[in-house]
Structure 1
Amino acid sequence: MTDVTWSVSWETELDDAAHASLAALLGRAYAAQSVRFGDGRSWAGARPELRVIARAGETPVAHAGIIRRFLRALPDGPDVLVGDVGLVAVDPGQHGHGVGRALMAQVVATLVDLDVPFGFVSCGPDVEGFYRAAGWTRLPGVTVHLIDTHHRTRVDPGPAMVHAAGRSLSAWPAARMFARDGQLV
């Protein structure tokens, strides 16, 4: 793995220059959606509460955003507190060097530090294996209702994945539908 330094930063600790460098990383990592990260905007939907960042020198090379929120188990199950993870990105030049694996280990450590019972991420089927390799578990047959980055309510078609951040996965609610009543991270 390339020599990187890690930081966990609260959103209010980041200045405009930090957002601009993160926006550049996100634009490289999400090239097909790079327009979303124009003008130094380092978020797509909900702004993260915390950011896990790897830097090579001063340049961000990996990033994940986390926001604590409750998911509602539908129709009438319990709410579950999660660290909702999004904007997971590794600079394309760093792929295959273990940076992504290290990023997800840092994310899990941050979730444990936040004392949330679970990490939660929804992803595309093409990256499900990446999350599985990092210890995340797919919730088979689970659908998630969410508010997308265009402020529309929709059902997420991608796999929903959970990480028992220092807890037992058996404590995850048995519901088949969840509502994420906030924008995607």
Structure 2
Amino acid sequence: MHSQVRWKLSWESELQLEDHVELAKFFRESYGPTGAFNAKPFEGSRSWAGARPELRAIAYDSTGVAAHMGLLRRFIKIGTVDLLVAELGLYGVRPDLERLGISHSVRAFHPVLRELGVPFAFGTVRQALHRHIERFSQHSPLTIFSGIRVRSTLPQPRLDLPSTRVDDALVTVLPVGRPISDWPPGTMIDRNGPEL
């Protein structure tokens, strides 16, 4: 039997060093099973991989961090349209809690999304998570778009790599202040920064 989970919303400036250390360990343990490379950004006390979130929804239980999702407001470009979004990402669930419905962590953010006044929440997920996201979208207004390429900058400039990369990920959009019909059409999204 798993203990109760409680959610806490924390602005980035509210986190202390010990919070970052605990979150970095959580991400190493959550992302590590998918490949050592995925856990590498979280060495030491670094609790983010690409762009640093401004707000975090963190679930805790009796053994520590149970789940996490980050939020960052930014302007993305779809075709010629600049669009304010709250990017959701840096999602993780402790391996022993998978399949317990914690994936609905976006619900912890929903009241704050309205307060922030963003028209949409936006995120990208790997194609391998299509079924997982599809199940979640059955019980929410989340829309999944495929066939859209997303350009991002690298978190750290490198001499041996181009400064941007393009992914064919699934794009997820949650209407917040505007209806999904207002989402601009287009087959390329420019994130104008690193992935969250």
The residue number in structure 2 matching 1:71 is 76
Aligned-CA RMSD value: 1.7
Q: Is residue 142 of structure 2 the alignment partner of residue 131 of structure 1?
A: no
Q: How high is the TM-score relative to the length of structure 2?
A: 0.86
The residue number in structure 2 matching 1:107 is 109
- 1:42-64 residue CA offsets vs partner (Å, 9 max, x unmatched): 00011101001000036111001
Q: Distance in 1 between matches of 2:17 and 2:31?
A: 20
Q: How high is the TM-score relative to the length of structure 1?
A: 0.91
The residue number in structure 1 matching 2:13 is 12
Query: What does 1:27-106 correspond to in 2, within 5 Å?
Result: 27-31=28-32, 32=35, 33-57=38-62, 59-74=64-79, 76=80, 78-101=81-104, 103-106=105-108
1:147 maps to amino acid = T
The residue number in structure 2 matching 1:25 is 26
The alignment partner of 1:24 has SS state of helix
Identity percentage of aligned residues: 34
- 1:20-65 residue CA offsets vs partner (Å, 9 max, x unmatched): 1111111111112222111111000111010010000361110011
Q: How many correspondences in the alignment?
A: 182
The residue number in structure 1 matching 2:160 is none
Residue 131 of structure 1 deviates from its aligned partner by 2.5
The residue number in structure 2 matching 1:173 is 184
* Structure 1 residue runs without a partner (length 5+): none
